[in-house]
Chains A and B, each alone.
Chain A
């Protein structure tokens, strides 16, 4: 494959286990093309943040074991030496979080933090770095950007801080943006502003992005493709239309059905997924969703095959039509 058609991110058979036996990520394959936004959705504890952190090698080295292959922009992330890793973070890949105060240093002005990052990565002059910071503040549409560059993080409102964090993340022109629930803590009126800003920046800059959220609505607003995670694995992946309009995996189907926004008669009850996600230290064999699944049978005790009902759409489930003929999925623990 030529460098242009090669996907920007290729994660293969990623597994992350923590000391104590928690297999937080258990055989994840994920591909992100250039200029594409993939949303990773799932309930809390399903392994979304650990997956993102693995791509930046941010999981604690002493207490976690990471296996599999991660290639980003032609680089083998697992093999990067320390120096190259520092450069990789910020220049090739940047991350934004739910809580901007985690990414921003409370004792420096925002302008100083952005300028510092630009100087560190690009070795430009102070004036140039400051100009870049201003340009970024304008780009993320912070009002009175010049004045706001001299503000400290705590002096800004929630939505403005989120914009400042995005400015910091994008200042060194990364190719990949990793966004970990960046709008979850915001009011709906502010959330939609930030979602649309991210969509616009991503398009203008030709960025690739992995957008982690537990909110299907937010995913649909920004993503080209959606990957649904359950108990450390991706159970379904496809275009946003495929996943929302013709979900295949019973978990995705259940999530969509249990939403309170269908046209329901007053007093009706919601369709729910019974039970709760498994303890990752004691994952059931085979399909981890089987104990909660209305369609589960004997077959589900074995690892489900990956079935592709349409081009670009895949689901890991025995009960999806065509599953019987498919090859069992390759898993980290089977290797």
Chain B
């Protein structure tokens, strides 16, 4: 595959493109007038890798820290603690200054307007990044036009248009072209197809798959739509209140979820079968606020399997199968949860 041939590759195919370890980001906020300051534990100690050439999905309810994780990874906001490595080198460190990293990692947002300058033509927007990084203007424009054609927008018709003259789907194609203009290795897609109509979403998903093959890309794909994630992702991380609660191959996590929260997310998807409509909502209430997360397992107040021990012990992410890990006491051998498997020693 192409990643191995990439001259920028450092660690070879076996080294993850991204490694995140113990990542923490708390936002201090004022809580009411004159009241004590509080912190939002937006990201609270997460670990994951993104392998070269794969698509890692991140799912979870709004406020669980998906976008914050993406912004931390992109170096758009500083982290409080933890390590962020790109192909083995610390992002923003001596060997990989932010400027060099940014050529290799790009982001596409849900709001297709947000990263396009309303007063710039499409081709000017796409060629802007390469020009800042030293590509001569004429070549940058030529490449921008080639990219427009590649994302399905005829350059002769679209290059000179302004963002407001395009539909949402067309603007998102422009954003993808803009992201690719610097020839990145990693593309972070934060709800990038969520605002599109279904028929347009399907077109853009196909485009993303084609571009990934063609340019040897690696994706971090954030979405709240589990059907889309199942379709496009190789592996999936499920987040809840600033933590990763389950991570593994897409078929395993979404096909046989191990965490009760993952199971509830899946069961919340509307059924498409008129004869088997959903009878009971899998979860009650709104997603909780990460200002005062519950003690122990953060999911325990909403969990169908909650037991007293869950309010006391904070489960760590532990392996339960090939490349499949889950943070749940009910799955942890030897834990004081009635469903917990026995330790091998005890079982013997």
* Chain A positions near chain B (C-beta within 8 angstroms): 43-44, 157-160, 187-193, 195-196, 214-218, 220-221, 239-241, 244-245, 254-255, 258-261, 264, 266-267, 269-274, 276
Contacts and interface: CB of A to CB of B under 8 A. Distances in A.
A190 B209 contact: no
Contact of A241 (B202, B206, B274, B286): B274
B231 A192 contact: no
Interface residues of B, number: 46
A287 B195 CA distance: 27
Given A190-B286, A261-B230, A220 B271 contact: yes
5 contacts: A188-B226, A245-B274, A261-B272, A272-B202, A272-B203
B231 A254 contact: no
A193 B227 contact: no
Contact of A269 (B200, B206, B226, B277): B206
Interface string B205-249: 110011000000000000011111011101000000000000000
Contacts of A192: 268-270, 278, 281-282
A269 B272 contact: no
Contact of B275 (A195, A217, A241, A260): A241
A104 B240 CA distance: 30
A216 B275 CA distance: 14
B274 A260 contact: no
Contacts of A274: 203
Contacts of A215: 270
Contact of A270 (B202, B269, B282): B202
A208 B61 CA distance: 32
B165 interface: no
A214 B199 CA distance: 11
B198 A214 contact: yes
Given A254-B199, A258-B198, A216 B286 contact: no
Contacts of A260: 201-202, 205, 225, 227-228, 230-232
Nearest to B210: A269
Nearest to A292: B199
Contacts, number: 123
A267 B231 CA distance: 8
Contact of B272 (A44, A193, A216): A216
Among the interface residues B62, B264, B281, B282, which one has the most CB atoms of the partner chain A within 10 A?
B281
B273 interface: yes
B287 A269 contact: no
B285 interface: yes
Contacts of A189: 61, 264-265, 268, 281-283, 287
Contact of A258 (B199, B230, B268, B286): B199
Contacts of B224: 187-188
Contacts of A217: 269-272
B248 to A, nearest CB: 15
Contacts of B62: 187
A272 B168 CA distance: 17
Contacts of A158: 286
B253 to A, nearest CB: 14
Contact of A221 (B226, B230, B270): B270
B344 interface: no
Nearest to A157: B286
Given A157-B286, A188-B270, 9 more contacts: A187-B287, A189-B268, A195-B278, A215-B270, A220-B270, A260-B201, A260-B232, A267-B209, A270-B202
B270 A43 contact: no
B197 interface: yes
B45 interface: no
A188 B228 CA distance: 14
Nearest to A214: B197
A127 to B, nearest CB: 31
Among the interface residues B230, B271, B272, B280, which one has the most CB atoms of the partner chain A within 10 A?
B272
A244 B272 CA distance: 8
Given A189-B265, A260-B230, A261-B227, A240 B274 contact: yes
B61 A220 contact: no
B169 interface: yes
B203 A220 contact: no
B231 A221 contact: no
B167 interface: yes
Contacts of B269: 188, 192, 217
Interface in B176-211: 197-203, 205-206, 209-210
